[in-house]
């Protein structure tokens, strides 16, 4: 049984039902996420882009102060529109040995290698297709140089808060003393602003979530009727958790795989994704308790978003 099918069946057998957000990113999902990032409500991309477009020399200087030449491993690079600023700066200063973009979508890896080979022909690129932590191990097997790990776009927010320490400890265990990480983290702010970012007026977030059902139909022999589901986003300001769901609009029966049957009640929800928000104090606490030392915080002008630099100790 392939992992995608296994994970989908396990999620739909559970109560309450869930699907894993990492499977959003097929070719169609990649294009829809590009649309989301361009939405007026989705402030995260613009905030982080502001940081990289205006503060990259300072970012690069702090990193190079610690290490003169190193590998850059980017987890979930997307179109690398933000990291490009840093890659360009570091390449200009001859600080990068190899750039390892890591993604579960091989489509992203192919597009990125094609794009960056034209924009930064001097950059040595080695794409890695797979899960983040296992591909960190693969990068270490290719090169024993010091690593700078990029985890941008608030991707770390897709990890439930209760699991964040375990994830960061696992990340630390894959690295060596002196390695560094640069992590983009969305900060707590006005609850309406956060919720609107995950329920845009153009409906791209809804299409993005529903696209996973289309992928299940196409790749796993599913028979989801897409119009029988709607998208719902909620934000809890007391915990900082923004959650996305698909809601069944009627009683329905769906099959997946080899005639595995699932029953959906009217108004039953399927949990799709969490986007966790943090305070600055919480980010520092996670770093220290996971084997890192916080080195620096960079902010957009509104202090809605931060990119933090941690060093392995």
> What's the pLDDT score for residue 1?
52
287 in the same domain as 183: yes
Question: 173 by DSSP, 3-state: which?
Answer: helix
The neighbour count for residue 280, using CB atoms within 10 Å, is 16
Q: Are residues 300 and 261 in the same domain?
A: no
**Do both 259 and 295 map to the same domain?**
no
Task: Give the C-alpha separation, 142 to 88, whole Å.
Answer: 22
Amino acid 241: pLDDT = 97
Domain membership of residue 197 (yes or no) is no
**Exposure of 54 in the CB half-sphere (CA atoms within 13 A):** 11
Specify the CATH number for the domain of residue 133.
3.40.50.150
Task: Assess if residue 59 is contained within a domain.
Answer: yes
Residue 98 and residue 95: Cα distance in Å, rounded? Answer: 9
In this structure, is residue 30 part of a structural domain? no
Say whether both 263 and 298 belong to one domain: no
Assess whether 62 and 168 both reside in one domain.
yes
Report pLDDT for 106: 86
Q: Count Cβ atoms below 10 Å from residue 4 Cβ, excluding itself.
A: 17
Domain that holds residue 292: 43-189+278-312
Domain count, the chain: 2
Residue 150 lies in a domain: yes
Residue entry with tokens 């979508």: 105
Do 136 and 64 share a domain, yes or no? yes
Q: Give the start-end residues of each E strand in 46-104.
A: 70-75, 96-103
Residues 210 and 84 in one domain: no
Residues 259 and 114 in one domain: no
Give the tokens for residue 161: 């808060």
Q: What is the pLDDT of residue 161?
A: 93
How many angstroms separate the Cα of 9 from the Cα of each of 6, 141, 173, 199, 258? 5, 33, 31, 27, 11
Number of CB atoms found within 10 A of residue 20's CB: 17
**pLDDT digits (tens), the chain, 313 positions:** 589 999 999 999 999 999 999 999 899 998 999 999 999 999 999 999 999 999 999 999 999 999 999 999 999 998 899 999 999 999 999 999 999 999 988 888 999 999 999 999 999 999 999 989 999 999 999 999 999 999 998 999 999 999 999 999 999 999 999 999 999 999 999 999 999 999 999 999 999 999 999 999 999 999 999 999 999 999 999 999 999 999 999 999 999 998 899 999 999 999 999 999 999 999 999 999 999 999 999 999 999 999 999 999 9
Is the CB of residue 20 less than 8 Å from the CB of residue 206? Answer: no
Residues 183 and 132 in one domain: yes
Of 129, 163, 184, the C-alpha closest to 274 is 163
Return the H-helix or E-strand segment holding 287: helix 280-289
Domain co-membership, 62 together with 147: yes
Cα pseudo-dihedral 107, 110, 116, 118, rounded to 10: -120
177 and 301 in one domain? yes
Element (H, E) at 3: helix 3-13
Whether 158 and 177 map to the same domain: the answer is yes
The answer to whether residue 198 sits within a structural domain is no
């Amino acid at each position: 049984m392939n992992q995608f099918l296994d994970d989908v069946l396990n999620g739909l057998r559970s109560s309450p039902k869930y699907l894993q957000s990492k499977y959003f990113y097929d070719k169609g999902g990649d294009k829809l996420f590009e649309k989301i990032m361009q939405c007026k409500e989705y402030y995260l991309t613009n905030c982080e882009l502001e940081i990289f477009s205006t503060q990259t020399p300072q970012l690069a200087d702090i990193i190079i102060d610690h290490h003169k030449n190193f590998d850059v491993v980017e987890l979930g690079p997307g179109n690398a529109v933000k990291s490009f600023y840093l890659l360009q700066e570091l390449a200009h200063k001859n600080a990068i040995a190899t750039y390892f973009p890591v993604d579960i979508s091989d489509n992203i890896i192919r597009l990125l290698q094609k794009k960056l080979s034209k924009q930064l022909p001097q950059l040595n690129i080695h794409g890695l297709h797979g899960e983040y932590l296992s591909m960190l191990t693969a990068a270490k097997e290719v090169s024993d140089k010091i690593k700078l790990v990029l985890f941008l776009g608030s991707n770390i927010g897709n990890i439930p808060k209760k699991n964040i320490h375990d994830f960061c400890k696992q990340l630390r265990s894959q690295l060596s003393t002196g390695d560094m990480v640069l992590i983009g983290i969305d900060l707590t702010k006005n609850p309406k602003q956060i919720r609107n970012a995950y329920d845009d007026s153009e409906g791209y977030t809804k299409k993005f979530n529903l696209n996973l059902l289309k992928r299940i139909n196409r790749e796993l022999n599913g028979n989801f009727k897409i119009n029988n589901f709607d998208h719902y986003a909620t934000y809890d300001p007391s915990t900082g958790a923004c959650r996305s769901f698909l809601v069944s609009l009627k009683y329905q029966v769906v099959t997946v795989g080899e005639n595995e049957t699932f029953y959906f009640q009217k108004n039953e929800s399927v949990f799709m994704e969490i986007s966790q928000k943090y305070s600055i104090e919480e980010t520092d606490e996670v770093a220290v308790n996971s084997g890192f030392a916080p080195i620096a915080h960079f902010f957009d002008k509104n202090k809605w978003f931060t990119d933090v630099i941690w060093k392995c100790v």
